[in-house]
Amino acid sequence: MKIFAHRGCSGIYPENTLAAFEAASKLPIEGIELDVHLSKDGELVVIHDELVDRTTNGKGFVKDMTSEELRQLDAGSWKAADFNGERIPFLHEVLTIFVETDHVLNIELKSDIFPYPGMADRVMELVQKLGFEERVILSSFDHEVLRYVSETYPQIHTACLTMEVMVDFPAYLKTIPAPDAHVLFPTALRQMGQELRAAGIPIRAFTVNDKVYADMLEKAGVEAIFTDFPEKFL
Ligand code: G3P
Ligand code: CA
């Protein structure tokens, strides 16, 4: 079973920071996962929540702050004092770390709450500039943006994210279309997982930090897990 570093090596380092991704870039794992939002001035920034409150010393929505304002925030101290000075990175900074590696780069488009018009095109512009078309998986809980990506950039690998148990998920995936399923890990152990495997659809499961569940998922034929502790699973 393959391993993806979820938000970088986010168990030890502050999630979605250059420190977390640099640590992941040194590991012999399949790839990394990151979350992208759009700032008020249209820059691609790597952070999980719509709000900066949980993972920085600031307050407010990412979409209401310019990249300059976002860059002034401390995105490391909330995790540990040692990480004081980590910033919210730009997407291009994170991807540049992986120019010399062969990791798969799973970019999650975080347009679930705010639509971020143009974000998918901005991401694709950067992916094409770096020549990363064959290394990226674009995923989202926003299935409308996945449909847009699939229609506009048919050569790009997409994955449909869901937290739910979906009835006849393989048939639903064809309607997007998205070739792969990224699922909340317990659902991969249920009938939905069996149906996906029977249809030959790769399953990647999030977020798996306990060995006992990783073992169950491996036995169930799951292709990969997203974990905050890739070092532990290696
Ligand atoms: O992409 C897998 C996983 O990251 C999706 O959930 O909330 O961690 O972005 P979340
Ligand atoms: Ca994510």
* Tens-digit pLDDT string for the chain (234 aa): 999 999 999 999 999 999 999 999 999 999 999 999 999 999 999 999 999 999 999 999 999 999 999 999 999 999 999 999 999 999 999 999 999 999 999 999 999 999 999 999 999 999 999 999 999 999 999 999 999 999 999 999 999 999 999 999 999 999 999 999 999 999 999 999 999 999 999 999 999 999 999 999 999 999 999 999 999 998
Beta carbon of 142 within 6 Å of any ligand 1 atom = no
Q: How far is the CA of 194 from the centre of ligand 2 (A)?
A: 24
ipTM: 0.99
Q: CB within 8 A of 139, min separation 6: which ones?
A: 106, 107, 108, 109, 146, 158, 159, 160, 161, 182
Q: How far is the CA of 206 from the centre of ligand 1 (A)?
A: 7
Beta carbon of 15 within 6 Å of any ligand 1 atom = no
- The neighbourhood of ligand 2, an ion, using CB within 5 A, equals 35, 108
48 catalytic per annotation = yes
Beta carbon of 228 within 6 Å of any ligand 1 atom = no
Residue closest via CA to ligand 1's atom 2 equals 206
Which CATH code fits 2-49+89-233? 3.20.20.190
Residues 49-104 pLDDT 10s:
999 999 999 999 999 999 999 999 999 999 999 999 999 999 999 999 999 999 99
Residue closest via CA to ligand 1's atom 7 equals 48
Beta carbon of 139 within 6 Å of any ligand 1 atom = yes
Q: How far is the CA of 208 from the centre of ligand 2 (A)?
A: 13
Write down the catalytic residue from 37, 48, 103, 182.
Answer: 48
Largest CA distance in the chain: 49
Tell me the best of 7, 10, 30, 33 to mutate to test the pocket of ligand 1, counting ligand atoms within 8 Å of each CB and taking the most. Answer: 33
Q: How far is the CA of 209 from the centre of ligand 1 (A)?
A: 13
Total-model pTM: 0.98
What's residue 140's pLDDT? 98
